[in-house]
Amino acid sequence: MNYKVKHKNYNYPDVNGFFGEFGGSFVDDNFKPVLKKLEQDFFFAWNDETFLDAWYDLLVEYSGRPTPLYFAKKLTEYYGKGKIYLKREDLNHTGAHKINNVLGQVLLAKKLGRKKIIAETGAGQHGVATATAAALLDMDCEIFMGEKDIHRQHLNVERMKLLGAKVHSVDTGTKTLKDACDAAIEYWLRHPNEVFYCLGSTVGPHPYPMIVRNFQSIIGAEIKKQILEKENKLPDYVLACVGGGSNAMGAFYAFLEDENVKLIALEAAGEGLNSGKTSAALTLGKKMILQGMMQYALQDENGNVAKSYSISAGIDYPGCGPEHCYLKDIGRAQYYAITDNEAVAAFALLSRLEGIIPAIESSHAVAYLEKLMPQTSKDDIIVVNISGRGDKDTERLLQLLT
């Protein structure tokens, strides 16, 4: 089965890596040839049937794809309006969509003859997925993580170590994700021919947003096939949460040219859009260059990137991937913000009604049903992408729910 999505007219990024005015590759001159080489290597692999077959084989045999498109009967009855389906990315190996991209990138690294995988991680989810793929494919693995995050995410640090990865503590700057990224890139530039940098979301300089989107586009390609089999029509709405943007791009990409499918992404409002404690970059952000790309990002009064906040570590990010910025500007996708409290309520609701504990990230997408469902009719079809499972959040959220 070839899941590659083909479009008639939508052809982004352009040759310079831009989605409209977003994206691109704003990096130092010595970094440019390394990225150019990565772009060529990726295109070569993406057009190689043997490579794609090897990747699909891992997705099926190792990660358990295709993930179910589950008709949520009780959730549908609860709202009494349109039919709600859940795309179960939480059922992937390691519990989230991240493995789709990581298996692709680590397989590419192996094909290129690299010996070592490096990655940055904040909450540790991408680090665990990368360490998993590295163990499977027999690669050395080094994960860069801020010293503060290492203390906050102890269990994930232990998981990475158990999987054979070396966790590199970064004690510069704020000792969190951004500093971990800088340290990983610095290391990569010192060893460009031995090391492969596995990036976890649709962010960073070109070609990363494209690479991650292409590997995640299998989510939407499967949704399309599955919903046509079950309902013999396309969905009216596809919902996904957005941090850097990879699970949402993955779910949306196959539908970009299906004008009647409304694409809605939910970002983290945190404690509220006016609270100063938020991650709502697409609702409140300004255009700026950050992490090698033009994007919408939260700014402070001096025009510097502001500190973001969300109850959910996976979408606590001050910016957003360039393709989402573009889709917002051209109006092809809609972006709304969900507060911590709304997400926590949705976390409890889905657990109670369907016996599915969603990640707190994914709960942001589920929460939007409160606003959307009253506007739907009985024959509308709504697909919610459940990007990951919520075991990791349960202990912390229980304190809020009781």
Ligand X SMILES: *Cc1c(COP(=O)(O)O)cnc(C)c1O
Applying CB under 6 A, the residues found at the interface with ligand X are: 96, 98, 125, 201, 241-247, 314-315, 359, 361-362, 387-388
**CB nearer ligand X, residue 81 or residue 198:** 198
| Residues 371, 376, 382, 388, Cα dihedral to 10° | 10
Kind plus residue range of the DSSP H or E element containing 70: strand 69-71
Minimum distance from CB of 166 to ligand X (Å)? 22
Give the C-alpha separation, 246 to 375, whole Å: 27
Minimum distance from CB of 274 to ligand X (Å)? Answer: 23
Q: Which amino acid is at 35?
A: L
Could you confirm whether 387 is annotated as catalytic?
yes
Which residue number, 39 or 267, has a Cβ lying nearer to ligand X?
267
Of the two residues 213 and 262, which places its CB atom closer to ligand X in the complex? Answer: 213
Q: Are strands 286-290 and 237-241 parallel, antiparallel or unpaired?
A: unpaired
Q: Where do we find the tokens 């990565």?
A: 38
Return phi, psi of residue 277, to 5°: -115, 85
For ligand X, give the closer residue by CB, 312 or 376: 312
| Closest CB 199 distance from ligand X, rounded Å | 10
Cβ distance to ligand X smaller for residue 125 or 226: 125
Nearest distance from C-beta of residue 159 to ligand X, angstroms: 14
State the catalytic residue, choosing from 39, 89, 120, 142.
120
- The pair of structure tokens assigned to 169 is 């503590």
Nearer to ligand X, 82 or 322 (CB): 322
How many CA atoms does the CB half-sphere of 164 hold within 13 Å?
14
Which tokens hold the place of 101? 């991209």
Q: Which residue is nearest to ligand X (CB)?
A: 388
What is the dihedral angle through the alpha carbons of 296, 368, 386, 244, rounded to the nearest 10 degrees?
10
Give me the least distance between CB of 99 and ligand X, in Å please. 10
**Gyration radius of the chain over CA positions:** 20
CA distances from 28 to 189, 194, 196, 209 (A): 11, 20, 18, 18
Q: Between 24 and 244, whose beta carbon lies closer to ligand X?
A: 244
List 58's β-bridge partners, or say none.
none
Catalytic residue among 81, 83, 87, 98: 98
| 20 CB neighbour count, 10 Å cutoff | 16
DSSP per residue over 140-176, as a string?
EEEEEEEHHHHHHTHHHHHHHHHTTPEEEEE-STTSS
CB of 201 to ligand X, least distance (A): 3
Minimum CB separation of residue 344 from ligand X in Å reads 15
198-207 core/surface letters (b: 16 or more CB in 10 A; e: else): bbbbbbbbbb
SS (H, E, C) 306-362: CCCCCCCHHHCCCCCCHHHHHHHHCCCEEEEEEEHHHHHHHHHHHHHHHCCCECHHH
- What amino acid positions are annotated as catalytic residues? 98, 120, 387
